[in-house]
Amino acid sequence: MSAIIGRWTEELLARSRQASLKIHINIYEESQWLSTVEKVMDNLERIQDLCLKVPDSYVEQVLSKLSSRAPRLQTLEITLDDSSLEWPSSLFAGTPPALHTLTLSRCSVPLSSFKLNALTSLGLYDVPDRFLLNIEEFLAVMSYMKNLENLCLDYALTSATGFPSSAVFRTFEKIDLPHLSFLLIHAPLSTDCRTAFPRKHSIDNSSRARMPFRT
């Protein structure tokens, strides 16, 4: 079966010529499809949307392909179960200039390897404990996301306790994010936190901070 799929993959890639590709790879269990996946990833320069969910046995080989140029890449979604993985030292041979949507789940977050200027949507989910982000450091990274519209941090931060603090908000208010319309943080939150939020922000009692921004 995998041989048949492999031949069809080659045929479809050939017929598509230089058209942009939308690739969704979702493999839950180990199989004989690795060579087929690698053939698809060899066309990274043509990929516009890339959604990857692969078993541990595929991770190293598939991620090694992400060091190639990706000038058309607009949407990147990666879900991995191997928290010990190492990203390529140079993602996309520098950076994909068109990337506007980045979603990473259950893996480390190499934000320093991405050029974030063009991002309009960023989602980080279920980051392994040893890779959780410090909120002050993350706010510093946010200063580069001038076009950001949607931000979701679901178990990506070490704690949300610091976010309501006046010191952190002073830092946040200095960041110019004119297009941001939705921010959701889901992280451990101290139960004795009583810091007041600015009027346009809100927080509930379920350790989930929802902050709708009005422009």
- pLDDT digits over 86-120, tens only? 777 778 876 678 899 999 998 887 777 777 788 99
pLDDT at 8 over 70: no
Please indicate whether residue 138 or residue 173 has the higher confidence score (pLDDT): 138
Residue 213: pLDDT above 50?
no
Q: Flag whether the pTM goes above 0.85.
A: no
Give the CA distances from residue 200 to residues 27, 81, 214, in Å, rounded to whole numbers and listed in that order: 42, 37, 7
Assess contact for 179 and 148: CB atoms under 8 A: yes
Determine the Cα–Cα distance for residues 196 and 184; give it in Å rounded to an integer. 17
Percentage of the residues of the chain whose pLDDT score is greater than 90: 18
Q: Which element (helix H / strand E) includes 166? A: helix 166-173
Instruction: State residue 189's pLDDT score.
Output: 61
Choose the weakest-confidence range: 105-109, 162-166, 185-189.
162-166
Most confident range, picked from 2-6, 71-75, 205-209 = 71-75
Average pLDDT, the chain: 75
Task: Label residue 196 by pLDDT band (50, 70, 90).
Answer: very low
How many CB atoms are located within 10 Å of the residue 194 CB? 7
CB 146 within 8 A of CB 169: no
CA 95, distance to chain mean position in Å, is 14
pLDDT at 3 (0 to 100): 42
Whole-number pLDDT of residue 161? 62
More confident residue, 187 or 122: 122
Which long-range CB contacts under 8 A does 97-100 form with residues at least 24 apart?
A: 97/71, 98/71, 98/72, 98/73, 98/74, 99/70, 99/73, 99/74, 99/75, 100/74, 100/75, 100/147
Q: Which residues contact 104 (CB under 8 A, 6 or more apart)?
A: 77, 78, 123, 124, 125, 127
Report residue 212's pLDDT band, with 50, 70 and 90 as the boundaries.
very low
- H or E stretch covering 170: helix 166-173
The CATH fold assigned to 2-212 is 3.80.10
Q: What is residue 64's predicted lDDT score, i.e. its pLDDT?
A: 85
Mean pLDDT is highest, among 20-24, 128-132, 206-210, for 20-24
pLDDT given for residue 170 in this prediction: 61
The token duo for 147 is 């076009």
